[in-house]
Structure 1
Amino acid sequence: MIRPILFSLIGLASTFSFCHAADQQNHNPWLDYYDIQDISIPKGVDPQISGLQALRNGTIAASFHDGNLLVLDPKTMDWSTYATGLHEPLGIKEDKTGALVVAQMAELTRLVDENGDGKADLYQTLSDDFGLTGNYHEFAFGPAMDSKGNMYISLNVASNRAGIFQEIRGPYSKLCPPQEEMKNWRDKEAYKQTQKKVGRMYSCAPYRGWILQVTPEGKTTPYAYGLRSPNGIHIDKQDRLWVTDNQGDWIGTSPLHLVEQGDFLGHPASLLWKDGWQKTIAEMRTSDIEPMRKLPVALFPQGELANSPTQPINTIDPTLFGLPEGELLIGDMNQNNLIRFIADEVKGTMQGTLLPFISGDELGIGNNRFTFTPDGALWVGKMHYRWAGGIGIKKITWKHKPFLFIKKSKPS
């Protein structure tokens, strides 16, 4: 059952009217209700923000594409170095001990400040129980963290625009082309046939395209699979796991998933690591995967609302940010707007509506990572991953002026 959205006709007419007038005057109407501020980034670091987390002591941790993890004191606006030498860290969480946990390309790492000087002294490997081939597209996103302290990371599949390197970590799938063919990817003519056999995106090393659960002690469990480029992973207050994926081969438009253990979410490359699976990617057909596939809860209209969705985050107290509490806000790499997800559970099945929210050149593109601070400000970290996107940090603050918005689905 798909429920209609509850609209206010007067509100919508008013909204469209002032948006049209604003376009004529080159004025962004969102700036009447929200302040969008640039945050200064220290010199000497790549200003691509790969992780962002408000910490319990009032500071804000930010990881950078170049491997630095810095901490900002928002009272003084001074930055300090917490950790260096990380390999493409793509998320931050503060655990119950106050340590910072980051997903690097090669592992999930706990960074511990043992002597209290504001710098990590211990770089502890929590989990490296997944494979690597050296392919540039083998990102590791996260972690998300549940109420028990379990962490979840989402692993990108590899791209056939490149192959594998001489040394790989983990076993190599017998369902992939021979390793020597995959290592010969710099010979473009010779590699063309291999590309067809391996598929557009592939998973020749363990658990590419999977979500892994990692306990606080480091026990790693394959949790769900069928993902292509899951750049957004989030646990809400109900311990529900939300994941965004990116459009591409086998995925007609980018989906939002509500994930439970054992789910297969649609992209077949990860099936090579499912117990008992025997087909290569070239042999697979839609009929092989559809019976297993769990449908997404929502789809992002490609090129209109999103191209490459990123991290979801739950909205907070409406007196602080203006929206109903508990909705999801989601970013995107290519579109200069934030996206609201209004959930609607019907007879135990989750669905919902995706709507544009704050938008415009003042926000810009590349909105990759998010965190709310106790004062109600939304901090936005930008990145471009060497493709589309942006750089830097934006701070978005509600001006406590009422505005018109769609609130919820119409009740039955």
Structure 2
Amino acid sequence: MHKLILLITCLFSLFLNAGYKIERIDTPKGVDAQIGGLAFMPDGRLAVSFNYGKIFTYNPKTNEWKLFAEGLHLPLGMVAINNHELMVMQRPELTRIIDSNKDGRADTYLKFYDDFGLSGNYHEFNFGPVRDKDGNFYIGLNVASNNGGILEEPRGKFLSYDIEKKDLEGKYDVKLVKKTVTRMYSCVPYRGWIMKIDPKGKATPYASGVRSPNGLGFDHKGRLFVSDNQGDWLGTSKLHHIREDAFHGHPASLIWKEGWTKDPKKMSAQELNKMRQPAAALFPQGILANSPTQPLLDSTQGKFGPFSNQMFIGEMNLKRLLRFIPDEVNGTVQGTLIHFLDGNDLGNGNNRLAFDKDGALWLGKTHLSWAGDEGLKKITWDGEVDFDVHSVKQIPNGFSIKFTQKVDAKIALSAKHYAIKKYSFDYHAKYGSPRKNEANIIPKSIQIAADGMSVSIIFDALQKAQVYQFELAKIKSASGKKLASPLFCYNLIENLQ
């Protein structure tokens, strides 16, 4: 009977790639199972931070949960320093939590960094940390929302070009705030920034212009990527390649830039657009993702499938995980977002990701006040490679698409088997943007590589600042298989020179 139920479940997971198995892990009894952070310790134990303030360790060999720390305020990420120490990002601070007597339970909580503002606004979430090869930590600080006010005694200097502090406090005038304050705002230091903290706890404002950076991660070259959610000044959700001193588009954070004197609200979109660094990839709303989360490098060296050095990304609203395929053009990182896993077995609320030493992907879920789920899942690969898009690279006036298996040449050479369009999104203060200037485009020519593993598609020309969306549902492998993930979007920032 159990096997029958499992079979039915798999049948309803329509887009679950062959070779991947998903299993649910029971969480500690009596604990709200919304997960804000996952981190594997060197000895193989998984540290799990639950949103309502507790951290447990889980031993995959014995299936044993053990309380490690408690009394935290919304811990939404962590890094395992060793088998007895975690660096945890909670609402008020980045905290070093230590099990000094090595009994499996933390006994020391040390403030590592807290020199950022807290207004008391409900939307001031903090994300991260991640750590680079030099031991520096990076965190992301959410901006506040005009759906909420602030406390009378915020931490840090108050600054607003829109409204006086007293008019945001306590039982504030909702209509006044909605009318005068930008939808998302930064009234205390470094809200809307990515912060860099060195190994001694000294912080540097690293990059500005993020809105809701729910997910930070490094790629195989040590480049930092951050996901950001659709909203004001974000026509659709984005994956940013974070560079030092870059402005990534949301203007609220600019007031905390050293030497800044302008009111961002009075700046035109054109003026701001000249300052901003385009996102590496875009998640078209409703097509790829509605609320992307943590990007995680596939560092498993083939233990989790054929996608080494690509990044997997969670998604809150849809029952989906995605892949990011980077493509560096003229020194700019751009690239492709594509479905990886979809379906009922996976579920939604996919918030935090971590690989274990055996190459299995662990997935922590949450919902907070939005769409999502809760719990912990484990995804393993059995070695079977499905027919899928492996990678996408820009070539002169076109794209080269590499597959995981040989393609059916007769089908692949026919332009009628490709549904390709291009479009863009507005950069403006409004919440989100429809797809703009959407147009179907027809390949000028199609070529198949001698080994049958890739297809080159050429157009009359390629246009900057466009999303190129491909639907290859009619493409089949040489053995007759359909593509596991037929829809993907390439974000074109730079043309090959």
Same fold by TM-score greater than 0.5: yes
In the TM superposition, what is the alpha-carbon distance from 1:47 to its structure 2 partner?
Answer: 0.3
1:386 aligns with 2:372: no
- How many pairs does the alignment contain? 388
Superposition deviation, residue 302 in structure 1: 0.5
Pair 1:130 & 2:125 matched: no
The question of whether the paired residues in 1 share the 8 Å contact of 2:13 and 2:345 is answered with: no
The answer for the alignment partner of 1:223 in structure 2 is 206
Secondary structure of 1:163's counterpart equals coil
Please name the residue that 2:132 is paired with.
146
Which residue identity does 2:255 align to in structure 1?
L
TM-score (norm 1): 0.90
Give yes or no for the alignment of 1:341 onto 2:319.
no
Aligned amino acid, residue 382 of structure 1 = K
Choose from 339, 342, 348 the match for 1:356: 339
- The question of 1:370 aligning with 2:353 is answered yes
Deviation for aligned residue 1:395: 0.4
**Within 2, Cα distance between the matches of 1:35 and 1:88?**
31
1:71 aligns with 2:57: yes
- Structure 2 Cα separation of the partners of residues 382 and 246 of structure 1: 17
- Secondary structure at 1:409 match in 2: strand
CA distance in 1, matches of 2:393, 2:203: 42
Query: C-alpha separation between the residues in 1 aligned to 2:27 and 2:271?
Result: 49
Counterpart of 1:397 (choices 380, 402, 410) is: 380
Could you report, residue by residue, the CA deviation over 1:330-385 in whole angstroms, capped at 9, with x for unpaired residues?
Answer: 01110111111111111211110000011101100000000001111100000002
Displacement of 1:197? 2.1
Q: Which is helix-richer, 1 or 2?
A: 1
SS of 2:339 mapped into structure 1: strand
Cα distance between partner residues in 1 of 2:305 and 2:121:
43
How far apart are the structure 1 equivalents of 2:82 and 2:28?
29
- Indicate yes or no: 2:45 matched with 1:59: yes
Question: What is the Cα deviation at residue 239 of structure 1?
Answer: 2.1
Give the Cα separation in 2 of the matches to 1:172 and 1:29.
Answer: 49
Say if 1:320 and 1:168 are closer, same or farther in 2 by CA, change over 3 A: same
More moved, 229-238 vs 327-336: 229-238
Equivalent in the alignment of 1:12? none
The offset of 1:281, in angstroms, is 4.5
CA distance in 2, matches of 1:107, 1:378: 28
* Paired position in structure 2 for 1:19: none
Deviation readout 1:284-338 (Å, 9 max, x if unpaired): 3212311210001110011121111100001133531113211010011101111
Distance 1:306 1:404 in 2: 22
Task: Select 1:194's aligned residue among 162, 174, 177.
Answer: 177
Structure 1 equivalent of residue 67 of structure 2: 81
Task: Measure how far apart 1:31 and its partner are.
Answer: 6.2
Runs of 4+ aligned residues of structure 1 deviating over 6 Å after TM superposition are none
Q: Is the 8 A contact 1:175 1:279 kept in 2?
A: no
- 1:303 is aligned, of 255, 278, 286, to 286
Distance apart, 1:174 and its partner CA: 4.5
- Which residue is equivalent to 1:119? 105
Q: 1:181–1:191: 8 Å Cα contact kept in structure 2?
A: no
Aligned residue among 291, 314, 320 for 1:331? 314
| Structure holding more strand per residue | 2
Q: For 1:168 and 1:410, how far apart are their aligned partners in 2?
A: 48
Tell me if 1:265 matches 2:251: no
Distance 1:42 1:225 in 2: 38
What amino acid is the match of 1:392?
Answer: G
CA shift digits 1:199-226 (9 cap, x unpaired): 0000000000001111121101111010
The alpha-carbon deviation at position 237 of structure 1 amounts to: 4.1
**AA at the equivalent of 1:62:** V
Which of the numbers 214, 226, 234 marks the counterpart of 1:251?
234
Give, in whole Å, the separation in 2 of the partners of 1:393 and 1:163: 34
Tell me, yes or no, if the aligned pair for 2:41 and 2:83 is still in contact at 8 Å. Answer: no
Percent of paired sites with the same residue? 49
* Aligned residues of 1:196 and 1:282 also touching (Cα < 8 A): no
Residue matched to 1:209: 192
* Counterpart-to-counterpart distance in 2, 1:168 and 1:195: 20
Is the Cα contact below 8 Å between 2:68 and 2:106 reproduced in 1?
Answer: yes
The aligned residue for residue 297 of structure 2 is 314
- 3-state DSSP of counterpart to 1:290: helix
Q: Which amino acid aligns with 1:194?
A: V
Greater C-alpha Rg = 2
Equivalent AA in structure 2 for residue 276 of structure 1: G
1:91 aligns with 2:92: no
Q: Which amino acid aligns with 1:141?
A: F
Secondary structure of 1:272 counterpart: helix
Which whole-Å CA distance do the structure 2 matches of 1:66 and 1:119 have between them? 18
What is aligned with 1:163?
149
TM-score scaled by length of structure 2: 0.75
For 2:387 and 2:56, locate their aligned partners in 1 and report how far apart those are by CA, in whole Å: 38
Q: Secondary structure at the match of 1:195?
A: helix
* CA drift at 1:33: 1.9
